[in-house]
Structure 1
Amino acid sequence: MLPTAAAALAVCVAVCVAVCVAVAVGAALPAAPPLRHRLARAALRRAAGWQRRRLELRGTEVRRSQERRLRRLLLPAEAAAGSDAFRESHPVKPSGAEGAPGGQGAPVPLLGPWALLRSCWAADPPLQGALLYLDALCTAFPQALALRGTALFCWAPGGPRAPAGWPLPTLYCTPAAAGAVPSRAAALQVQLLFALRERGLRALEAGLASELYDALAALRAGWPGLAEDLALGRLSPQLELPEGARRRLQGLLAPDAARAAELRAECARGFEGIVRRLWPQLQVVVVGTAHGGEQLYSDALRQADCKGLPFYCPFYRAAGALLGVNLWPEEPSARFLLCPDWAFCEFLPCPAEGQTATATALLGELWEGREYALVLTARPGEYRRRAGEVLRVAGFHKQCPMVEPVRRESQTLSVRGESIPEERFLQSLRRAVGLWPGARLVDYVCAESTLLGASSGACAPHYQVFVELRGLRDLSEGQRYKLDHCLQEDFPVYKSFRFKGSIGPLRLHLVAAGAFARLREAVGSPLPMPRVLRERRLLSAIQNAVVS
């Protein structure tokens, strides 16, 4: 049954009263953060309940919701014509640069009673998404919204970025300034130190899976120094920090010899399952982006450091726009419900080989199991732009599709039009590594030889592949050829070009340990790991680490 206007108004008023009480109590009782936290959490969960009901309603009228969203994005003269006329008058544009990853897309907004009240009738995707996240997280993991119970790992050199639960800042034990320092490695190490101080953590949250992966790699490599820093209540003198940031962060630390001793004891036992041993009350790992180029890190964390913990990826973003939310935290594979109020979405069917798709489908016209390239109208003036992502429809919740990201179009290898997508290249690479006795894949990137320019030589265009391995210090020519052979078996078009000599042999390079962490620092912004390098400076950075 549809909620009445009176019921909607009553909920809005109740939410605002609760928030106002929380703010008033916070002002009157500055020494009672637990009370402030409980009041704010209760108010936000009430608002989240309203947003959930609103989403369920919009899910029964997808076409109407999409038309409303489009009208808000268009000029008045265009809005009256409807979506069919809009699609006829605006051609689909190619994708631009990759947008910000999930959980890293925007500065932390200000939140007050008016913002919550307005969200009850106006589409405000960042706030709606955050409220739905807090509600889903608390429903699945009841202790996850504890005061200072979440440690945040994210690097945002341009200033603080909104974590998943930004409307409830008392959720986090991590100072915002820790993620804004210029050095990525220093930011993650400082955040790790603040996380280690809190034994009672209930959740670890990272903007990218690679950020948590690198923070835990710093723990493995430098735990004796971290234990000393905990015991002394200091920031390591070796950390590259601006003096002002160091002074502010240092003021938040205090010596903790007992926790330092616990850290030494647990790390001395080894690192498999170390996360659950260091934080015994931990319930969940929240990762803003864990698919695409980040999947390798997510898999590694699940199998080793974070073994036994559920992973929850709450949001789906593309081209910098928030598009969907994952309402099922306990499910092992992430499915994102595309919210009809958040952007006007079109879908270009991925054609069979030799065919070309020209007409787009709308949100309510998709087929389960099929793959589509996403076309977005998410901001005024930016009409019908390809988002550079391919999605698979995994099912439906009412009329809204639930999707799984499949690949990034910009990460396709192609020197002769053969088009090898990143997820299928990784499958071939893993199969080849399985043929090298004792080897385990740690990380990889690729480049097309054209990026090398004249330094690629006079040979035919080819792939350059850089890998970090465990268990092997060198590769024979026979082992190197196995990857090229696997690609030929998996991609007949590639095999045909190799046979004709129009694509040259793949060049495989082994790089030193830690090379990919330095590459992620060189990228310079918190974006998902690129698997096909398109910038000469990034290619040079990984070439400098080649050992074989």
Structure 2
Amino acid sequence: MLSVALPRMLLSAVPGATLAAVLAVSVAVCVAVCVALPSSPPLRHRLLRAALLRAAGWQRRRLELQSTDVRHGQERRLRRLLPHGAAPGSDAFREHRPPSPGCADGEGAEPLPPLSVRAALRSCWSAEPPLQGALLHLHALHAAFPQALTLRGTALLGWAPAAPRAPGLCPLPTLYCTPPEAAALPSRSAALRVQLLFALRARALRVLEARLPNELHDALAALRDGWAELARELELGTLSPQPGLPEETRGRLRALLVPDGARAAEVRAECGRGFEGIVRRLWPQLQVVVVGTVRGGERLYCDALRRAACEGLPLYCPWYRVAGALLGVNLWPKEPTPRFVLCPEWAFCEFLPCPAEEQEEQRTVLLGELWEGREYTLILTARPGEYRCRAGEVLRVAGFHKQCPVVEPVRRESQALSVRGESIPEERFCRSLCRAVGMWPGARLVDYICVESTLLGASSGAGAPHYEVFVELRGLRDLSEGQRHKLDHCLQEDFPIYKSFRFKGSIGPLRLHLVGAGAFARLRDAMGCPVPMPRVLREERLLPVIQGTVIS
């Protein structure tokens, strides 16, 4: 019988330029064996995993080589993005094309495409950013957590209504124990609950994965509120009717369930003990929680997960993606703060130092000209026809991987509050809000969103422009007037410009609203597509959703 070790033996004996050809041969062998042994899922999985890991190792070596010559890598990428006959070189490109106002919205971009063995075969010679990024993720995950790639050892929590067969973040579909059809339900809350039920069936999970931290946060909230019903469904091997779950789909998913009284009893026992560290207690073999992004407003959920439900587990974010373009990869899954290597051949990147210097046209710096510890605004050329787009993203250079900058996302410029040009960044507003909540005995911040009074129109009432803030708290059911004023006072202390406008009366007092439990989950359902949580609401159609949940 052909062993999975055959590709490894072939590859370990051949160095240098012929490695790509031997990789192709080993992948072809895996394809043949997978076709010949359709009734052996474990062996098929092992062969696919071996082939993809070899291709992933090749892509890691390619990245290391690219990291030694960043400037030429950026020039090569720019030539691929420019039309034929365009002025060559980054200097001429920057001289003849002024920066454009902003990138196309890519926050709701679909997950990276699944990797097949044939895709790995193509990657032996070349790889576009999505393919190389998927393989580098696979390599980093396996290197840090060798048991993470177990057959059906990963549970996916994520909503993809427009892509019924969309995979998760990992490029090996046989990893997942959750049915792909569950992700495509018309209702976000129904999709997350069904996926949670299938995840609870698999006690031996190695990886818990969510495309967005807010999806994992809401799924665990559904577990906290409905664990008794979920345990009953596990015990009976059934799936209860619920809004957003079509009856035909429910029948197909229910056919995949079998009664499991022992697991149901375990879920009841662990949930009955409370929800601190519940993830590790429900899945004792779990090694890592993988999330698709940690940018901007998603950090609040990541911090809450680390403190409570996912206590003791690393949260790994594999990629840095802006406006739908893949820019960097996280090579260090075990580190608590996600850092991303900006890959020189994935997009052409320019940077403006922050704060901007006092000159009309500040010249951008390139990928190989950044300074450690400084913050920069990103200008991006990632697609043909979209040149020098202001990405609205500020990042900090945390170090270097050879010549490649290693960056940490800092803030999204689109999420700054401003009714008089004062511009309060999202991460600094969040710090002020957390400081105010800390002054309210027993309160803990669960979620929040801000609205500028210009969006509210007549419903904001008379008076100067102001902010309205909607918060969900745990530990408080009402807010006194004194507590409501604390946030405005904190903002005045933290932002002198805001204090000046408040003193002059050109900005009115902040209005704080307390919403009921689950209000933000309903708001995310109403958004219609999975996106990182905005902290400044810009869509008027969503206003009634959040306003309708106010309890105080």
User: Of residues 58, 77, 83 in structure 2, which corresponds to 1:75?
Assistant: 83
Distance 2:146 2:227 in 1: 31
Q: Is the aligned partner of 1:28 residue 2:32?
A: no
CA gap 1:503/1:398 in 2 versus in 1, 3 angstroms: same
Distance 2:111 2:334 in 1: 27
CA gap 1:110/1:271 in 2 versus in 1, 3 angstroms: closer
Task: Look up the SS of the partner of 1:76 in the other structure.
Answer: coil
Task: Look up the SS of the partner of 1:545 in the other structure.
Answer: coil
What residue identity is the alignment partner of 1:100? E
- Report matched runs for 1:333-412 at 5 Å: 333-351=337-355, 358-412=362-416
Task: Look up the SS of the partner of 1:151 in the other structure.
Answer: strand
- Report matched runs for 1:116-155 at 5 Å: 116-155=120-159
Q: Is the 8 A contact 2:241 2:250 kept in 1?
A: no
What residue identity is the alignment partner of 2:348? F
Report the equivalent of 1:86. 93
Unaligned runs of 5+ in 1: 1-5
- Compare 247-256 and 182-191 and name the one that shifted more: 247-256
Q: TM-score, normalised by structure 2?
A: 0.95
CA gap 1:106/1:204 in 2 versus in 1, 3 angstroms: closer
Distance 2:252 2:416 in 1: 44
Report the equivalent of 1:330. 334
Q: Is the 8 A contact 1:449 1:464 kept in 2?
A: yes
What residue identity is the alignment partner of 1:95? G
Q: Is the 8 A contact 2:167 2:180 kept in 1?
A: no
Distance 1:155 1:9 in 2: 42
Report the equivalent of 1:19. 27
User: Of residues 55, 60, 64 in structure 2, which corresponds to 1:56?
Assistant: 64
1:290 shift after superposition: 2.1
Task: Look up the SS of the partner of 1:77 in the other structure.
Answer: coil
Report the equivalent of 1:158. 162
User: Of residues 218, 241, 245 in structure 1, which corresponds to 2:249?
Assistant: 245
Report the equivalent of 1:105. 110
The superposition leaves residues 359-397 of structure 1 with CA deviations (integer Å, 9 ceiling, x where unpaired) of: 111100111111111111111111111112111111101
Q: Is the aligned partner of 1:10 residue 2:18?
A: yes
Distance 1:443 1:463 in 2: 16
The runs of 4+ residues in structure 1 deviating greater than 6 Å are: 353-357
Coordinate RMSD, CA, aligned? 1.6
1:477 shift after superposition: 1.2
Task: Look up the SS of the partner of 1:372 in the other structure.
Answer: strand
- Report matched runs for 1:136-535 at 5 Å: 136-159=140-163, 160-166=165-171, 168-351=172-355, 358-535=362-539
Task: Look up the SS of the partner of 1:369 in the other structure.
Answer: coil
Distance 2:66 2:300 in 1: 35
Q: Is the 8 A contact 1:15 1:44 kept in 2?
A: no
What residue identity is the alignment partner of 2:185? V
User: Of residues 43, 46, 60 in structure 1, which corresponds to 2:54?
Assistant: 46
Report the equivalent of 2:540. 536
1:110 shift after superposition: 6.0
Distance 1:110 1:123 in 2: 12
1:355 shift after superposition: 6.6
1:119 shift after superposition: 2.1
The superposition leaves residues 248-292 of structure 1 with CA deviations (integer Å, 9 ceiling, x where unpaired) of: 222221111111111111111111111111111000000111231
Q: Is the 8 A contact 1:105 1:162 kept in 2?
A: no
Q: Is the 8 A contact 2:103 2:386 kept in 1?
A: no
Distance 2:22 2:357 in 1: 56
Distance 1:127 1:251 in 2: 34
Q: Is the 8 A contact 2:112 2:130 kept in 1?
A: no
Q: Is the 8 A contact 2:111 2:169 kept in 1?
A: no
- Compare 128-137 and 13-22 and name the one that shifted more: 13-22
1:96 shift after superposition: 4.0
What residue identity is the alignment partner of 1:484? D
Task: Look up the SS of the partner of 2:333 in the other structure.
Answer: coil
CA gap 1:13/1:252 in 2 versus in 1, 3 angstroms: farther
Report the equivalent of 1:3. none
1:107 shift after superposition: 6.3
Report the equivalent of 2:8. none
Q: Is the 8 A contact 1:155 1:184 kept in 2?
A: yes
- Compare 233-242 and 521-530 and name the one that shifted more: 233-242
What residue identity is the alignment partner of 2:262? A
Q: Is the 8 A contact 2:102 2:390 kept in 1?
A: yes
What residue identity is the alignment partner of 1:279? W
Q: Is the 8 A contact 2:241 2:247 kept in 1?
A: no
What residue identity is the alignment partner of 2:34? G
The superposition leaves residues 488-542 of structure 1 with CA deviations (integer Å, 9 ceiling, x where unpaired) of: 1100110111111110000011111110110111111110001000011212211
Task: Look up the SS of the partner of 2:400 in the other structure.
Answer: strand
Q: Is the 8 A contact 1:432 1:483 kept in 2?
A: yes
What residue identity is the alignment partner of 1:426? C
What residue identity is the alignment partner of 1:105? E
CA gap 1:523/1:353 in 2 versus in 1, 3 angstroms: farther
Report the equivalent of 1:65. 73
Q: TM-score, normalised by structure 1?
A: 0.95
Unaligned runs of 5+ in 2: 1-13
Q: Is the 8 A contact 2:353 2:377 kept in 1?
A: yes
- Compare 493-502 and 80-89 and name the one that shifted more: 80-89
Distance 2:117 2:427 in 1: 43
Q: Is the 8 A contact 1:123 1:341 kept in 2?
A: no
Aligned residues: 538
